[in-house]
Chain A
Amino acid sequence: MNGIKNKAILCACGCLVGIVNGIFGGGGGMIVVPLLTGVCKKPPLVAHATAILIILPVCLASAMIYIFSGQFDTELFLSVSIGVLLGGAAGAKILNRISPSAAVALFAIVMFAAGIKMIF
């Protein structure tokens, strides 16, 4: 019974992740990680790693739709992808050393400001 309830939660969160990721072109990972730690009781590192595995096919599928709809620019996509690749590698190395609680809180404030700017 508990197993079925868990699967229903996983499924419902999957729907939410899909809608968010398709409409906003990202951000699904921010829902998956708490889902994996909270509902599935996975340790944080495993949750972060497994979240990528969940998000990858989701991003790939929605990226196809965007690109086939004409949302593509070779220079932009190439430069951003290389940058993300290099930055991601560097960020992963830093994560192993520091505890980013204060950084995350600070960063959330910056994100909030960016959100306000986009609304108005």
Chain B
Amino acid sequence: MRFIIYLAVGFFGGLLGGMGMGGGTILIPALTVLCGVPQHLAQSANLFSFVPMSGISLKVHAKNGLLDTKDIIWTIVPATVLSVLGAIFVQGVSAGTLRMGFGLFLCVLSVFQFVSAIRAAIDKARSGAGRTGGAKKTGAAR
């Protein structure tokens, strides 16, 4: 039963992740808040589950020519080094503190995501209106 619940939670996390809405950021709270998984273990599960999924996605993206590797090494190297240091550091942090920190991180991230989504919607509405205006002009010229 536990297996099926985790599978379902993973599916929803993956679904949102695949849609570009940040899979891990919802998978971790779903595991801790809904399923009672300890904070560190939930984070570990999220990191682990990302590897096979991203491996397959990358294969598809590479085939579609969507990977642009120019200069990304400048991000990959410091990110990898600091993630190892961060992971070592966090092993000594208590589950309660980490959970609180994660909650705060989630709030900041969601505000950021909300604002950029609204902005994207406004941009889209504007460019849509621009196009309609253009069409009208063309109509008038005729």
Contact = CB atoms under 8 A, between A and B. Distances in A.
Q: Do the two chains bind? A: yes
Interface of A: 6-7, 10-11, 13-15, 17-30, 32-35, 40, 42, 45-46, 48-50, 52-63, 65-67, 69, 71-73, 75-95, 99-105, 107-112, 114-120
Interface of B: 2-4, 6-33, 37, 40-58, 60-61, 64, 66-72, 74-91, 98-107, 109-114, 116-118, 120-121, 124
Given A46-B66, A79-B6, A114 B78 contact: no
Contacts of A110: 26
A60 B45 CA distance: 11
Contacts of A107: 16, 21, 26, 113
Contact of A115 (B6, B7, B72, B104): B104
A115 B13 contact: no
A88 B18 contact: yes
A115 B42 CA distance: 15
B135 to A, nearest CB: 21
Contacts of A99: 124
A118 B33 contact: yes
B20 A108 contact: no
| Majority SS at the chain A contact face | helix
14 contacts: A7-B71, A25-B46, A46-B67, A56-B51, A66-B40, A76-B6, A79-B4, A80-B7, A82-B7, A83-B6, A84-B52, A87-B18, A105-B113, A108-B113
Nearest to A120: B103
A63 B82 contact: no
A91 to B, nearest CB: 2
Specify which of B11, B12, B60 lies most central, judged by the most chain A CB atoms within 10 Å of its CB. B11
Which 6 pairs, one residue from A and one from B, show the smallest C-beta to C-beta distance?
A: A22-B86, A83-B10, A91-B18, A25-B43, A26-B24, A87-B14
Nearest to B115: A108
B107 A84 contact: no
A18 B104 CA distance: 18
Given A25-B47, A75-B6, A84-B10, A111 B18 contact: no
A22 to B, nearest CB: 2
